[in-house]
Amino acid sequence: MIDAVHLFERRQAYPNPNARDRLGRLIGLDDHIAKLTKILALLIHPKGLTEWGARHHPGSDLLLDTVLNRPPLVILAGDVGSGKTELAETIGDAVARQEHIEVVLLPLSLAARGQGKVGEMTQLISAAFDYTLKEAHKLNSAEAKTPGSVILLVDEADALAQSRESDMHHEDRSGVNAFIRGIDRIANERLPAAVIMCTNRYHSLDPAVKRRTAEMLTFARPDEAMRRLLLEPRLGSLGFQASDIDAIVEATGPHNGQIGFTFSDLTQRLIPTIVLDAYPDRAIQPARAIEISRDMQPTPAFAEAV
């Protein structure tokens, strides 16, 4: 008997103030946040769509059923450091507040891959889906204090759902089969649950997984407007002039055949480096900040073999 609890990195319930703050700090992803909130709301809380249809489009049962019959899977795909995982880990808060329900996030650990023993990966993935379905049943039961739903988060999804068309070990192939069966079980049982997969290697995912996708959102590195939106309020408060910020925005963008900075390059590397360069003996100087931004190299793009 597998103890499925250890297959998840942590359990997070929403609404949650910390998650709301983290979601609010995501720059340039407003459209993705709005769209993903709606998609997940339909997948994990179909009652909301049914009530909307009765209010605005009576007699539209066939139309609504078409929407509600979509597979319970959303894929977030794109470049490294573009906010995919942060969005996946916090979007449950927006859904919970919009739908007035409890949302539980279950982030699947890579421990679900097992150690290569025959049948192990299949058993672990099946156990993870068993646990997810059990939680969905529990939150949707008559005994539940408030209606609830479950989001199963699979980060680095290509590690668990790589294409079976590639040259892969039998054990990995069986694991992909178990993953696909798990998605189908959620869909067939019409449970208030959905799966979010994050990947830098969308083309590496198994075609059967892609076919079961209700929606795929793509993520890219921040453009000039997004970089300025992120940098201006943080550096402007230090007395930086518009020309100083323009110089940093330009330095962190693509130039001379080099790609631009990722969101995480800006927030986790550049800004802390500018602060630490001056701390604790002097104030931050715009000229030095510009110099640092020009010297720093962006995270290389993830090279995916198509």
Q: Please calculate the CA angle 97-99-105 and round it to the nearest 5 degrees.
A: 70
Cα–Cα distance, 258 to 137 (Å, whole number): 50
Of 97, 121, 100, the residue nearest 111 (C-alpha): 121
User: What is the band of 306 on the pLDDT scale with cuts at 50, 70, 90?
Assistant: very low
Q: Residues of CATH 3.40.50.300 domain(s) within the chain?
A: 4-219
- Residue 258 pLDDT exceeds 70: yes
Instruction: Say if CB 150 and CB 135 are below 8 A apart.
Output: yes
CA 165 remoteness from chain centre: 26
- Residue 270 pLDDT exceeds 70: yes
**What is the per-residue pLDDT for 121?**
76
Of 34, 22, 35, 47, the residue nearest 149 (C-alpha): 47
What does the pLDDT look like over 226-238, one tens digit per residue? Answer: 999 999 999 999 9
The CATH number of domain 4-219, selected from 2.60.40.290, 3.40.50.880, 3.40.50.300, 3.40.50.720: 3.40.50.300
User: What integer best gives the mean pLDDT of the chain?
Assistant: 89
What does the pLDDT look like over 22-75, one tens digit per residue? Answer: 999 998 899 999 999 999 999 999 888 999 999 999 999 999 999 888 899 999
| The 12-14 sheet, strands edge to edge | 12-14, 102-107, 148-154, 193-199, 73-78, 215-219
User: What is the band of 168 on the pLDDT scale with cuts at 50, 70, 90?
Assistant: low
Q: Which whole number is the average pLDDT over 109-124?
A: 67
Strands (DSSP E) contained in 210-302 are 215-219
Choose between 3 and 59: higher pLDDT: 59
3 state SS of 193 = strand
DSSP 110-130: GGGGTTS-TTHHHHHHHHHHH
Whole-structure pTM value: 0.87
Cα–Cα distance, 275 to 150 (Å, whole number): 40
**What is the per-residue pLDDT for 149?**
93
Cα–Cα distance, 127 to 179 (Å, whole number): 10
